[in-house]
Amino acid sequence: MSTEIDKAELFVTRLLSNPTLLTLNPLQKEEQILSFMEINAKQLLPTLSSDAFFPGLSWTAIRSLLVGKLRELIDESLIPGLQRQLYEKIDFGFISLLRQQSWPQEKSKEAVFNFTKKIIISPEGRNDFSGSYNAISNQIVHKYLNSIFSAHSYIHFELTKVQRLKMNKDEIINMINISLLLKPSIYVFSSSMNKESSSGIITQSFAEKVEASLIKEIPSLPEVLIKSGVRSNLSFRDHKYLQATARLTSIFNTMARSVKADMKVDRGASSPEKSWFSIARKNYKYFGWDIKMLDELYRFSAENNW
Amino acid sequence: MQKKIKSFVESIVVMAIFLVLIQTFLEDYSVLAGWSWNFRKILIYSGFGFDLFFSIEFLIRFFSALLNKKGSIYFLEGKGWIDFLASIPLLIFNSGPSFFALITGSGFFFGMGGLLNILKIIKVIRIARILRLLRILKIFRQIKHTGSLMAQRHIAKITTLSITTFVFTLLVFSIFSGLIALPSSEVKFENNQKLSISKFIENKDNTNLSEAAGNFADYESDLLIIKNNGNTIFSRFDNPFYSTVFGPGDYKYFKTSEFEFFFDVRELSQIQAISNIMFFLVVVMSVLVFLVYYSPHFAMTISDPIHVMKRGFLEKDYNLEVEIPELYKNDDIYKLGSLYNEIYLPMKVRETDTGNSHTNLSMDDFEDLFK
């Protein structure tokens, strides 16, 4: 068995070392390799089931072995990366503005960190978490909130007047970042996803169940923050009172999952984020996004050539 | 190994093309600048060398194509006709005659005057020289000035069309003007000299031919030498000067029953050289404008949007929109780009979101996966 594990590790390491995957975050690499294995199963099976690799095993067993090892190797870089983001990039100080806080920041961070490790157990959770991880790593929220606060337009109004966040820009950034970490929490409580459609949208009742569970799971976080994270999985089309931070969380999570950092832009092509927002504006109903937010974010990306 | 050899040979050809363009320019510039005959001889020899090189290159390419039963494809589509016109006619009608005239006539200026006169075919040589301008087009086969094959082909085609039209118009006009003897400075010069010679013969003092020749030379500033029954009765310069400065094309020779006259035609040659340099610069500048201005413009307005859409169709993770400039938004290609942005990409993103597996990795990306 240990030989098989060693062989699995060697094979997966070779897959991971492909230069095409260099600029991707750990979860994106995993997604690419899983897709590669699925699409090329027929070509891989004859060699992988030979004496040189895993003789006598079916494709299901081989796949299970390889996927297990893949996740193990990915987690070796993912979890320390997550820890760095949580402890170095996110300040939990704003929580005291949302409610009276008796927990120290470190305790809150530890609770969120431990919970996030549960999220990445399930494949769906890992998939969704990839966007959140990227968004925080590449400081996407920071970038766009700067423009939002400079423009003082629709999104700024939604955050400060409608959602009534009595916080400064940096505090709102931290709030959205934690909201991003909590967005995939729905997969901890149900692997069947309980979604309305394949676009990642959930039902109101399911959202409420998840919120209730999460409040018990992480009591150090205020309810409004948990709701922001969980309800980012709802459709704005059906929930017109959805918090602005939840709407932004949904948009930034999906964008960060699709747009690669340092992508080389071909001559004649629009910049990656501008392209993404332009397409998102046409698909806003399908994904349940706020079209006015997308319009404004598109404008920022176009002005700055992001 | 074969690829390396081929690449090396192609590099030699490209270098030869650039060198021959410099040589072509210098051949006329040396006449204009009055460079010594020795240096101009080197240019003629090198011109012969290049014409021979390109003739051999053409023959090798053509016979190689014939062996592969692609002779007509090479000659027509592969621009083999440019290779032909810019080599063999030049070797036969231009550098070849000049080279052999030099080999047989050099160093014996006076004695070989009659033989050198064969260079009345200079007119044919001059007409054939125009074909050299076509050599610039050979560059397009060698230099990849853009990443798009379509752009490369299009720029090559439009440049070939323009330059070929210009060159053949010049060629036809030169032949036509020669056939119907249009008035030219050469014809006028020749008529003037003949008139002067006939006046000299009519009015000469037979008792003192040297003085008569001297007076004639004072009147005719282009006169170099007069001979009477093989003896030199007048020479404007000394022999070393003639050897250094004058080449076969730099003088004109007239013969009567007793006299031989040599006239200086360098000024005429310089006028012709100015025209040649002007044509050369027109062709070079045209090519540069096509390469430097039009090629990027074509790439920007045609190839680039196509490339973006092609990647979008082929790669599941490539979702960049085509950037549509306001100035060209009504161009067909940008209307297509607009449809691509508005309809295809949103649909593709929704389809990708259904959870179907997609990756840009393929088995070809892993050469040593099973080692």
Q: With an 8 Å Cβ cutoff, is B322 touching chain A?
A: yes
pLDDT of B125 reads: 57
Question: CB contact, 8 Å: A123 with chain B?
Answer: no
Q: What pLDDT does B114 receive?
A: 38
* Average pLDDT of chain B, as a whole number: 83
Torsions phi, psi for B199 (to 5 deg): -65, -40
ipTM computed for the complex: 0.86
pLDDT above 50: residue A18 = yes
pLDDT digits (tens, 9 = 90+) for B140-167: 666 666 677 888 888 888 888 888 888 8
Return the pLDDT at B42. 92
Instruction: Write down the pLDDT at residue B113.
Output: 38
What lies within 8 Å, CB to CB, of A126 at 6+ separation is A27, A30, A71, A119, A120
Token duo for residue A267: 């001559």
pLDDT one-digit tens code per residue, B188-239: 888 888 888 888 888 877 778 888 888 888 888 889 999 988 888 889 998 8
Band of pLDDT at residue B115, cut at 50, 70 and 90: very low
Query: How far is the C-alpha of B345 from the C-alpha of A211, rounded, in Å?
Result: 35
**Contact (CB<8Å) B349/A14:** no
How close B364 comes to chain A (CA, Å)?
11
With CA atoms as reference, the chain B residue closest to A48 would be: B370
pLDDT tens for each residue of B242-295 = 888 888 778 888 888 888 999 998 888 898 889 888 988 888 888 889 888 998
- Is residue A50 exposed (0-12), middle (13-18) or buried (19+ Cβ within 10 Å)? exposed
**How far A87 CA sits from the closest chain B CA (Å)?**
32
Structure tokens at A192: 């069947």
**Do the beta carbons of residue B201 and residue B259 sit within 8 Å?**
yes
Contact flag A283-B360 (C-beta cutoff 8 Å): no
B346 touches A: beta carbon within 8 Å: yes
The answer to whether B331 faces chain A, any CB pair under 8 Å, is no
Q: How far is B36 from chain A (nearest CA, A)?
A: 52
pLDDT value for A244: 95
Measure the CA angle with vertex B329, ends A259 and A284; round to 5°. Answer: 40
pTM: 0.79
Cα separation, A272 vs A25, in Å, equals 17
pLDDT tens digits, one per residue of A195-236: 544 556 788 888 888 999 899 988 888 999 999 999 999 999
The residue whose two tokens read 């990795």 is B361
Nearest to A36 among B320, B341, B361 (CB): B361
List the single residue in B305, B360, B362 with the smallest CB-CB distance to A268.
B305
Higher pLDDT, B370 or A214: A214
pLDDT tens for B39-68 read 998 998 999 999 999 999 999 999 999 999
- CB contacts of B357 in chain A (<8 Å) are 34-35, 38-39
Q: Which residues, in sequence order, are CB contacts of A5 under 8 Å at separation 6+? A: A65, A69
Residue B146 is predicted with a pLDDT of: 63
Q: Which residues of A touch B298 (CB under 8 A)?
A: none
Compare B241 and A103 and report the one with higher pLDDT. Answer: B241
State the nearest Cα–Cα gap between A32 and chain B, in angstroms: 5
CA distance to partner chain A, nearest, from residue B83 (Å)? 35
